[in-house]
Structure 1
Amino acid sequence: MNVLITGGLGFIGLALTRALLAGGHRVSVLDDGSTAPGAHDQAADAARLTPGPAPPCFRGDVADPGIGTVFDAVRPEAVIHLAARASVVESLREPLACTRVNVCGTVNVLQHSLACGVRRFVFASTGGALYGESPFGPMSETAPAAPVSPYGASKAAAEAYVGAMSRSGAIRCTVLRLGNVYGPAPAAAAAPGVVAAFARAMLAGRRPVIYGDGLAERDFVHIDDVVEAHRLALGMTGDDVFNIASGRARTVREVFDAVAAAAGYEGEPEFAPPRPGELRISRLDVGWARRELGWRARVPFARGVARTVASMRAPVEVAAPGEPAGIADPGRGLHGNAP
């Protein structure tokens, strides 16, 4: 299948690009190069970490109407839309910028997808930030959206447009509401989220910071499992929405302890006030994805954390042509995501 991935140089995007190429798909990438501190180096990572020739990489802003030239050049059969401003904290500071990329950018990508006859559209959304607080049990896909941040609101709005296009029959759409994605990344600085933040601090001999009392709960899902969910979504024939998570929430303190065990860190965290817009409890029900998508999380949390820490100690291995790339301790990773 000929696939265009927006945000293809991000955390999830690079891992997904590599996996789809290894699976025989044709892949092109559209990215604005702003996904990580080493964004300019990530184009080199794309070439180095994919089997065979590097995929075509187009620089562009998803909210720019001019990206139609990319669609004309690629003529994709499927689009996986990952590009987003994914920080809850930044969305509170710059809600308009968040809306421009996450809402207008999604509508723009949808419009160009329709214009060039895309058959399958996969949208990476958010679980926790969209549902809001879930103190009484895991949230299913039928739960109402109740975001507490502009980031969550922007994803809810974007989903509304994707759903409307899907129900109109104009395009087949699958929405994946992701938990907190973690795992190894091609560059340690590019790995997002609290697992990587804790590991970076511990390996550098610094005290990691926990915002709040450490009892906030999140559902963490490994990058390898997230990539597999996107791969399965490409093969769907209908339209649907799925929570993609482990199905088990963990406290931030539990995460700290798991990373400390993997890193050999014996110190205590530094506690800071909770940040505005961040949830206290986020729990996701993954039963629908198991039944209808044939997906479940397979990487155990302790193993995934160990792989992440190991990847931040050791350089990424370069795969031989035609072989999947890996790291010294097997695993892989990619995309920023908020809870």
Structure 2
Amino acid sequence: MNVLVTGGAGFIASHIVDRLIGLGHTVFVIDNLSTGRKAYVNPHATMLEADIVKDDLSRVFAAARAEAVIHHAAQIDVQTSLKSPALDAEINIVGTIRLLEQCRDQGVRKFVYASSAAVYGAPEYAGIDERHPIHPLSFYGISKHTPELYLEAFARLYGIDYTILRYANVYGYRQDSKGEAGVISIFVDKLLQGETPLIYGDGEQTRDFVYVKDIVEANLLALHHSGGATFNISSNTQTTINTLLRLLCDLTERPFAPKYAPERPGDVIHSRLDNSKAVAELGWKPVYSLREGLKETCDQITRGTP
């Protein structure tokens, strides 16, 4: 299958590209390299450097002759969305619409969209399922949810099949420690450099952490799942930030001695996504425990594997 992966030089999508190549698919990567790295792009993939907002995408789609699109190119930082909501909307909403227009015009029949738990906002009940009300707390949550509505409309109007994957907190090797999206990569970077990790709030807020390799398998299954469905992709477990840091301190043999700072606006206090629909209908389930995923991540960072 010819698969076009947007953001394919970035954290999650580069792992998806690797797996697709390993399975024998022909893979094309769109990335403007604003945050992605060429070193992460599998040498057997075709790199098409382009910006999904500014560039002519028709030439990209014509070159790829894609049968399916896996869309991960995005602005992913909550705080950036609060400071620059127009930029956030331009990349996440307008960029997705431009991709969908090309899918319509060039006959792409399958679109896999990477959404986020941020669309739900503050949980109204424990174990957020896909029927939970949509009340984003940040502009980022809004800009990740809005393309879901466009996907539904493009499906009705033009017959484009889609699958939406709403991710919990994804972690793993290649995650950027310089932004705010990946608390695990930030913590590991600080610990390995002998610096003090910073925790916003009291550290008792919880997150649902899911390893990138489990995310990859969900995307592969979504490629072949028809009917326009939405799935939570998560570990379905809650972990406090304090517990997370203690685990990382144990794995890196560093003392647990964080600094604490005030909570940040737009951050959800507690989050756990119910993944039972993905287990039942997509045939997916997480394989890695948090400790296993963290150990593999720390080992790869220490080795400096591309």
TM-score, normalised relative to structure 1: 0.87
Q: What does residue range 66-105 of structure 1 map to in structure 2 within 5 Å? A: 66-105=56-95
Query: What amino acid maps onto 2:128 in structure 1?
Result: M
Counterpart CA distance in 2 for 1:45 and 1:251 is 30
**Deviation (angstroms), 1:103:** 0.4
Structure 2 residue 275 is matched with structure 1 residue 286: yes
Q: What does residue range 144-159 of structure 1 map to in structure 2 within 5 Å? A: 144-159=133-148
- Structure 2 counterpart of 1:7: 7
Query: What amino acid maps onto 1:284 in structure 2?
Result: L
Q: How many aligned positions are there? A: 306
**Structure 2 gap segments, 5+ residues each:** none
Higher relative contact order (CA 8 A, sep 6+): 1
Structure 2 residue 120 is matched with structure 1 residue 126: no
- Structure 1 counterpart of 2:185: 196
Query: What amino acid maps onto 1:15 in structure 2?
Result: H
Query: What amino acid maps onto 1:59 in structure 2?
Result: E
Counterpart CA distance in 2 for 1:147 and 1:45 is 32
Counterpart CA distance in 2 for 1:212 and 1:10 is 29
Structure 2 residue 40 is matched with structure 1 residue 45: yes
**Structure 1 gap segments, 5+ residues each:** 318-339
Deviation track 1:165-188 (CA, whole Å, cap 9, x = no partner) reads 223352000000001000112887
Q: What does residue range 101-250 of structure 1 map to in structure 2 within 5 Å? A: 101-127=91-117, 129-134=118-123, 136-168=125-157, 170-185=159-174, 193-250=182-239
- Structure 2 counterpart of 1:63: 53
Counterpart CA distance in 2 for 1:78 and 1:170 is 13
Deviation track 1:118-172 (CA, whole Å, cap 9, x = no partner) reads 1110000001x11011153011111121100000010111111112222335200
**Deviation (angstroms), 1:281:** 1.1
**Deviation (angstroms), 1:45:** 3.2
Identify if the C-alpha distance between structure 1 residues 186 and 257 changes in structure 2 by more than 3 Å, giving closer, same or farther: closer
Query: What amino acid maps onto 1:63 in structure 2?
Result: V
Q: What does residue range 250-289 of structure 1 map to in structure 2 within 5 Å? A: 250-289=239-278
Identify if the C-alpha distance between structure 1 residues 69 and 78 changes in structure 2 by more than 3 Å, giving closer, same or farther: same
Query: What amino acid maps onto 1:87 in structure 2?
Result: D
> 1:139·1:284 contact (CA, 8 Å) conserved in 2?
yes
RMSD: 1.7
**Deviation (angstroms), 1:266:** 1.1
Counterpart CA distance in 2 for 1:258 and 1:297 is 19
